[in-house]
Amino acid sequence: MKKLIFQKLNHDILSFFATSIILMGFIVWTLQAINYFDLVAEDGHGLKIYFYFTILNFPKIIHRILPFIFFISLFYTLIMYEFRHELNIFWLNGINKIQLTNKIIILSILMMLFQIFLGSYVSPSSQLKGREILKNSNIDFFTSLIKEGKFINVVKDLTIFIDKKNEDGSYNDIFIDDSTKENSKMIYAKNGILIDNEKQKIFKLLNGRVINNEKSKINIFDFDQIDFNLKTFDTNTIIVPKIQEISSLRLLSCFFKNIKIEKFDSFNCDKTILEVKQELLKRLYKPIYIPIIGILTCFLIINSSNKINYKKIRNLVFITTFIILVISEASLRYSVSSEILFYIYLIFPWFIFISSYLIFFKIIKNA
């Protein structure tokens, strides 16, 4: 019977948790996806690339909101159990408050392990995959961004300006500043036609002039027609992996310097060692606050809802746990500022967990 009771409790908590984290994750993902639309509107990537990139950032969102959603799930479930008098079922079947708390702590530890797996493997892997998709993609929407009276800076070191677009789709007075290669050049064309299909993506320029700057020597020549290839250019989008996208094994290798080459994925271990340290703490250590959420939320079961001070305890539990969550986020930023702060960051969650459990145990025994 006890086993069935605990199974139902776990089911209720995890069901609410799963529903809440998917809904909240989708809301955050939608808001973030709007910001990422610059990949299309400004950087010229296709909608398919945009969709893949935003989807692959979803695990990162889940990883960030998981502790708060787990706290809300525990808080809501225990309150509803109390108001529906379902906690009495535990007491009537010989389950005491210490046993119930221990089960919730075990569930919290399992959630902590899931958070570590999500943060150390799934999230960085999916983000890196998204970055690789951007890196290997072409700028499909580049040509659609070319409009009259607007400077186009989608490609690094390339600026295009068009004075007028005609009804037949042709352009007048086209200026191109191309500094993408070692020798820069400026192109002016009186007329131009944009050709964009599967085989080619070119600007057919007519009746113009090219000014080449070759090693401080300027060469000028006129032309009747030239084809300016748009398919060879890369986007302005950042394609170098960020530290959040590097695998945990590589970060650990960087931190402990177990590899001879201390540079990979365009970042240097010696120069970014503090960032590496902070990222590893975020992935592997910060989830320790999840069991703290578990023990603090269990203070809700100390008194029943018919006691005068129940609302005060409920509000105090919510505020205290929320503050702990804020501290877990804020303290990470300063955890690598000095050696003292680093050790404080390591010790603080253990102190909170042990002291909270001892206080809870003492209150229950003296009740």
pLDDT at 366: 83
> Mean per-residue pLDDT for 132-143?
58
Please give the Cα distance from 234 to 156 (Å, whole number): 7
Bridge partners, residue 165, by sequence: 171
> Mean per-residue pLDDT for 107-115?
97
> Mean per-residue pLDDT for 86-95?
90
pLDDT band of 69, cuts 50, 70, 90: very high
Q: Is 163 exposed, middle or buried (0-12, 13-18, 19+ CB in 10 A)?
A: exposed
> Mean per-residue pLDDT for 77-90?
92
Is the pLDDT score of 354 beyond 80?
A: yes
More confident residue, 147 or 249: 249
Are the CB atoms for 21 and 133 separated by under 8 Å? no
Are the CB atoms for 268 and 146 separated by under 8 Å? no
> Mean per-residue pLDDT for 139-166?
67
Whole-number mean pLDDT of the chain? Answer: 83
Which range has the top average pLDDT, 37-41, 109-113, 307-311?
Answer: 109-113
Residue range 217-227, pLDDT digits in tens? 777 888 888 88
Backbone angles phi, psi at 105, to 5 degrees: -65, -40
pLDDT at 172: 86
Residue range 13-68, pLDDT digits in tens? 999 999 999 999 999 988 887 776 655 444 545 567 777 778 888 999 999 999 99
- The angle subtended at Cα 14 by Cα 10 and Cα 20, nearest 5°, is 155
Q: Which of 121-125, 170-174, 348-352 has the lowest mean pLDDT?
A: 170-174
Residue range 233-273, pLDDT digits in tens? 655 555 567 788 888 888 888 887 754 444 444 556 665 78
**In this structure, what token pair is assigned to residue 47?**
């909608």
Is the pLDDT score of 145 beyond 70?
A: no
Give the whole-number percent of the chain exceeding pLDDT 90: 42
> Mean per-residue pLDDT for 300-319?
89
Residue 89: how many CA atoms within 13 Å on its side-chain side? 15
> Mean per-residue pLDDT for 283-289?
95
Give the whole-number percent of the chain exceeding pLDDT 70: 80
Tell me if residue 164 falls in helix, strand or coil.
strand
Q: 285-315 burial by CB neighbour count: b if 16+ within 10 A, else e?
A: ebbbbbbbbbbbbbbbbbbeeeeeebeeebe
Task: Tally Cβ neighbours within 10 Å of residue 156.
Answer: 12
pLDDT at 272: 72
Are the CB atoms for 218 and 193 separated by under 8 Å? no
Q: Which residue has the tokens 């075990």?
A: 106
pLDDT at 154: 61
pLDDT at 280: 92
> Mean per-residue pLDDT for 107-116?
97
CA 335 to chain centre: 20
Of 155, 126, 121, 161, the closest CA to residue 138 belongs to: 155
Which range has the top average pLDDT, 119-123, 145-149, 176-180, 194-198?
Answer: 119-123
